[in-house]
């Protein structure tokens, strides 16, 4: 089939620039060329999903992945509807992180037919609070230092950083990273409300997995969660997998931050697979009944798909359009460094399209106009 052939997807509706439009979608080559065409079939066409926090997928742990693993993970993500993603690198010795960043640079530039596009790397560490490190290696945590970070990244593959703002010199690192255009996130932290405000004033724009690895909200010390929910310039990231957040937390975020929440998976290698033994960085992780934990019982990422998180958000009270926006245009806007038209479906835009059924289950996926199952 040549690029000049116009193909229709056979869907009944499409989410076009965030609104529902009745009718079918046509693609030509790598672009969407028309929407609202009569005579469509069934299903809802939406932009390809965008996941900003992926540790691994399809049996592959990204920080230790070789070339074949990277390709397998990207293909598995695409099969589940994610057409663009950020690789999340957990806290590791600097040499391990440096080697992983070299892989990110290679695969960011490598187009793989039928595979999700790699937007870059997010560093979740090493500048985290030991008391809230979670599954991250405490012996690999470090004091924030601009010079060290500048030497570590030595390129343009990093797009995001999670940091605990109460650490010494953290604000200097936040200002430096934000100045480079990175998405700076407050997370794995013991910070006070005042310290959270200082981080956001310095250039942080979001929080990593709201409600997890941070202090509980109290009457006189609301902490980073309450600050993020009440500041209009901060976007909150939610892991809506039915495990990381109670339903009430999700509903609170939806009510307090309308239009300021996005969905992430924090997926680890078991995502797209089943129960069993896996790795997250250098940690052994056991997945039992769909919950990933290390030997100490600490949550070790999720096994959720982003489409599954959309369904869970809807179950907790979000509208379908709100939940879909939080997995498409929302993360694209938050990241800022992605390609034009990331996370949107419109004529002239990229043919990264997912067709969902009436239960929001993935039925078909196109990456750059090519059907994933046809590659």
Q: Average pLDDT for residues 214-223, to the nearest whole number? A: 95
pLDDT at 40: 79
- The model's pLDDT over 344-363, given as tens digits with 9 standing for 90+, comes to 999 999 999 999 999 999 99
Select the more confidently predicted residue: 155 or 12: 12
Contact indicator for 311, 318 with CB cutoff of 8 Å: no
CATH topology of domain 1-47+345-375: Urease, subunit C; domain 1 (2.30.40)
CATH 3.20.20.140 in the chain: give the residue spans. 49-340
pLDDT at 2: 47
Instruction: Examine the pLDDT at 156 and tell me if it is beyond 80.
Output: no
Alpha carbons within 13 angstroms on the beta-carbon side of residue 46 total 30
CATH 2.30.40.10 in the chain: give the residue spans. 1-47+345-375
Cβ-proximal residues to 14 (8 Å cutoff; 6+ apart), any chain:
20, 21, 23, 24, 25, 35, 36, 44, 45, 46, 345
Q: Average pLDDT for residues 134-155, to the nearest whole number? A: 94
Catalytic hit among 24, 51, 61, 266: 266
49-340: CATH class = alpha beta
Alpha carbons within 13 angstroms on the beta-carbon side of residue 74 total 26
pTM greater than 0.95 (yes/no): yes
Alpha carbons within 13 angstroms on the beta-carbon side of residue 143 total 2
Q: Which band of pLDDT confidence, cut at 50, 70 and 90, is reported for residue 375?
A: very low
Output the average pLDDT for the chain. Answer: 96
Q: Average pLDDT for residues 84-93, to the nearest whole number? A: 98
Provide the β-strand partners of residue 50.
Answer: 84
Q: Which band of pLDDT confidence, cut at 50, 70 and 90, is reported for residue 311?
A: very high
Instruction: Examine the pLDDT at 280 and tell me if it is beyond 80.
Output: yes
Catalytic site residue 266?
yes
Q: Average pLDDT for residues 90-99, to the nearest whole number? A: 96
CA dihedral of 165, 171, 173, 178, whole degrees rounded to 10: 100
């Amino acid at each position: 089939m040549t690029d000049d052939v116009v193909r229709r997807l056979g869907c009944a509706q499409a989410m076009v620039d965030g609104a529902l439009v009745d009718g079918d979608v046509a693609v030509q080559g790598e672009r969407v060329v028309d929407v609202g065409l009569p005579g469509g079939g069934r299903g809802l066409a939406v932009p390809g999903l965008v996941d900003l926090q992926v540790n691994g997928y399809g049996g592959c742990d990204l920080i230790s992945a070789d070339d074949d693993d990277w390709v397998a993970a990207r293909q598995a993500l695409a099969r589940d509807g994610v057409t663009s993603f950020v690789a999340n690198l957990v806290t590791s010795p600097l040499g391990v992180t440096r080697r992983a960043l070299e892989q990110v640079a290679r695969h960011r530039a490598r187009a793989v037919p039928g595979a999700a596009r790699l937007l870059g790397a997010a560093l979740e560490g090493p500048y985290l609070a030991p008391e809230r490190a979670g599954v991250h290696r405490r012996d690999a945590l470090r004091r924030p230092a601009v010079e060290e970070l500048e030497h570590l990244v030595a390129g343009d593959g990093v797009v995001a950083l999670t940091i605990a703002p109460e650490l010494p010199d953290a604000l200097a690192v936040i200002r430096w990273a934000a100045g480079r255009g990175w998405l700076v996130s407050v997370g794995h932290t013991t910070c006070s409300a005042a310290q959270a405000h200082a981080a956001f004033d310095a250039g942080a724009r979001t929080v990593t997995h709201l409600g997890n690895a941070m202090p509980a909200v109290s009457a006189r010390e609301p902490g980073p969660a309450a600050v993020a929910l009440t500041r209009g310039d901060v976007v909150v990231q939610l892991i809506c997998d039915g495990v990381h957040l109670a339903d009430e937390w999700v509903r609170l975020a939806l009510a307090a931050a309308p239009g300021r929440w996005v969905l992430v998976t924090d997926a680890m290698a078991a995502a797209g697979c089943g129960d069993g033994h896996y790795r997250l960085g250098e940690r052994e992780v056991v997945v039992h009944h769909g919950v990933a934990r290390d030997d100490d019982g600490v949550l070790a990422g999720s096994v959720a798909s982003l489409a599954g998180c959309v369904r869970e958000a809807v179950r907790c009270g979000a509208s379908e359009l709100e939940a879909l926006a939080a997995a498409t245009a929302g993360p694209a806007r938050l990241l800022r460094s992605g390609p034009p038209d990331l996370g949107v479906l419109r004529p002239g835009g990229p043919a990264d399209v997912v067709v969902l059924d009436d239960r929001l289950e993935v039925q078909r996926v196109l990456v750059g106009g090519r059907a994933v199952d046809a590659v």
